Amino acid sequence: MRRPLSPEDHKISFTQFVFTIYKTQIGIGILTLPRDLVETTGTDGWISLLIGYAIAVTVSILIIAAMSKYPNDTLYELLPRLFGAWIGGGLSLLWIGYAAGGSLVMLLWSIHLTQVWVLPAISSPTLMFLFVLPICLYTFHGLKLVGRFGEFVYLISFWMPLSLFWGLKDAHWLNFLPIGHNGWVNIILAVKTTLLSFLGFELAFILYPYLTEKKRAIQGVVFANTLALITYSIATVISFLQFSEETLKEYVWPSLVLLKLIRLPFVERFEIIFVALYLVILFATIVPYLYMAAMGANRLLRTKNHRYYTIAFLAGCVVLSVLFRPSFWQLQWMGRQYGKAGFLLAFLFPVFLWLWGIGYRFIRKERHP
C-alpha cells in the first residue's frame, strides 16, 4: 500500500488492450442472450447481433478518434479540458457512477449465479467476501495488472465458448427459416439488446492513453469487438439450432442448459464446473469497471491513490450483501438500469464527444488562427 504507482505500472501492450476490452464485454450477458433475443425477434436474433456489432465497432472507432487528438488524456482529463471544470467534473461523476454501478451489478449477478447453479446453500455475505478478495488484489495495482489479468483470463477460458458445441445434440437448421418471419421491426428492436452485450468497449476511454502502440488502437477495438461477436454468435446460433423458439423463451439461462446436455463418461453435471470457472470471466468484467471508477474518483478528488476508493467500494459491497439480498427480478431490473445508462454513456456520449471535439477545435482555430 505504500509505494505510489509510477507511470510504468500503467503501460499496456496491444494484446492487453484487446483482451481487457474483450473480456469486459463478455459477462453475464452471454448466458441469457439467446433468450433475450428470442423474446423480441425469435431466431432472427443473429441479424440483430450483426447490426449491434456494426454499431459497437463504429462507436469504438469514434472513441479512439475523439481521444487521439489528446493522446495523453484519459477520459477524466479530457472532460474538464473540453467542457470546463464544472461540467467536466459533473460528467466525470456520471462516468464514475456508471462504472461503479456496472461492477456492483456484475458482482451481485455473480453471486446469484453461484447460488443458483453451484452452491445453493451458501450465504451471500460469505460469497461476497470471498469474491471481493481477488478483485481487490487485481485492482490494487496499475492498469498493467488489469491488462495482464485480461490476457490471463483469455488464455484460460478460450475453450469455454467452444465447449458449447458439445451441447449440440440435434441441430434443426430449419429453425432459422424463414428469415425475418417475426418482422424487420422486431429485428431492429432487438438491436438494443445486442448493443448492451457489447458494452465494455468504453474502457478504451481509460486504456487508450496508456497504450504503447497507439497507432494500432483502432485495430485493437475492432479485434476486441470481433472476438466478442464470435463468442456471442456461437452461443446464440447453437441455442437456436438445439432448441425451438418456444422452449428458449422458457429457459432463464439457455447457454447453461446447453451445457447440461453434455454427458461425459467421467463427470456428471458439467455445467457446475463451467459456472465455477466462469466466475473468473465475470471477475474480468468487474475488475476493469471497478478500476475505471476508482481511477475517476482519484482524478476528480485530486488524491494520489485510487486504492482507498477500491477498498471503500468493496467494503461497501460486503456490507450491502448483508443488508440486501436481491431477488432475480430485482437483479434484472438493476441490469436494465445499467443497460440504459450504458446506452447513453457508452453509445451516445462518444458520438457527442467526437462532434464536440471537432467543434471545439474549430472554434479555437477561429479565435487563434
Partner 1 sequence: MKRIPKRYLSLFALIMLMATCACGKSTALEMLQIMGVYGIDLNEEGRLQAYSSSPIFSREANKKYNITKTTALSTRQSRLQLDSMSIGALTGRKLATVLVGKKLLTEKSIYPYMDVLFRDPSSEINASIAMVDGNVSEIMESEMDDKGRLEVVLFEEIETSYEDRICVLTRAYQLEDQLLNPRITPYVTEIKALPGEIKVTGTALLSDDGKYAGSLNNKESSLLLLLQRDIGRPIQLMLDLPSKGIVTINIKNANYNMHSAYGKERFQFRVAVHAEAELTEQATNWKENIPVPVLEQEIAKQLQQECDKLIGKIQRYRVDPIGFGYYAKAYQLSRWKEVEDNWGDAFAQADIEITTRVKLTSTGAVK
Give the three cell numbers for residue 104. Answer: 456492483
269 is a site residue for partner 1 (CB under 8 A): yes
Q: Measured from the CB atom, is 122 or 358 closer to partner 1? A: 122
Q: Measured from the CB atom, is 32 or 194 closer to partner 1? A: 32
Q: Measured from the CB atom, is 139 or 225 closer to partner 1? A: 139
Cα dist from 107 to 10, 17, 43, 104, 205, whole Å: 25, 23, 30, 5, 22
Q: Which of 6, 8, 86, 120 binds partner 1 (CB under 8 A)?
A: 120
133 is a site residue for partner 1 (CB under 8 A): yes
The residues near 58 (Cβ < 8 Å, ≥ 6 apart) are none
> Measured between alpha carbons, how far is 351 from 63 in angstroms, rounded to an integer?
8
> Measured between alpha carbons, how far is 70 from 317 in angstroms, rounded to an integer?
35
Q: Which long-range contacts (CB under 8 A, 24 or more apart) does 207-210 make?
A: 207/12, 207/17, 207/20, 207/21, 207/143, 207/147, 208/63, 208/64, 208/67, 208/68, 208/71, 208/74, 209/67, 209/71, 209/72, 209/73, 209/74, 210/10, 210/11, 210/12, 210/143
In the window 287-306, what residues touch partner 1 (CB under 8 A)?
Answer: none
274 is a site residue for partner 1 (CB under 8 A): no
In the window 89-118, what residues touch partner 1 (CB under 8 A)?
Answer: 116-117
Give the three cell numbers for residue 322. Answer: 448483508
Q: Measured from the CB atom, is 170 or 366 closer to partner 1? A: 170
Q: Which of 246, 301, 327, 362 binds partner 1 (CB under 8 A)?
A: 246
Q: How far is the CB of 120 from partner 1 (least distance, A)?
A: 7
One-character DSSP codes across 283-321 = HHHHHHHHHHHHHHHHHHTT-S-SHHHHHHHHHHHHHHH
Give the three cell numbers for residue 313. Answer: 467500494
Question: Which one of 90-98, 253-261, 285-293, 295-303 is the stretch in contact with partner 1 (CB under 8 A)?
Answer: 253-261
Q: How far is the CB of 336 from partner 1 (least distance, A)?
A: 23
Residue type, 128: M
Q: Which of 7, 121, 266, 367 binds partner 1 (CB under 8 A)?
A: 121
- The footprint of partner 1 on this chain (CB under 8 A) covers a number of residues equal to 35
Q: How far is the CB of 142 from partner 1 (least distance, A)?
A: 11
**Pattern 166-205, binding to partner 1, x per CB under 8 A?**
----x-x-xx-xx--x------------------------
**Pattern 23-62, binding to partner 1, x per CB under 8 A?**
----------------------------------------
Q: Which of 54, 85, 130, 156 binds partner 1 (CB under 8 A)?
A: 130
Check: CB of residue 61 under 8 Å from CB of residue 221: yes
268 is a site residue for partner 1 (CB under 8 A): yes
Q: What is the 3-state secondary structure (H, E, C) of 197-222?
A: HCCCHHHHHHHHHHECCHHHHHHHHH
8 is a site residue for partner 1 (CB under 8 A): no
Point out which residues bind partner 1 (CB under 8 A): 1-3, 116-117, 119-122, 126, 129-130, 133, 140-141, 170, 172, 174-175, 177-178, 181, 243-244, 246-247, 250, 253, 256-257, 260-261, 263, 268-269
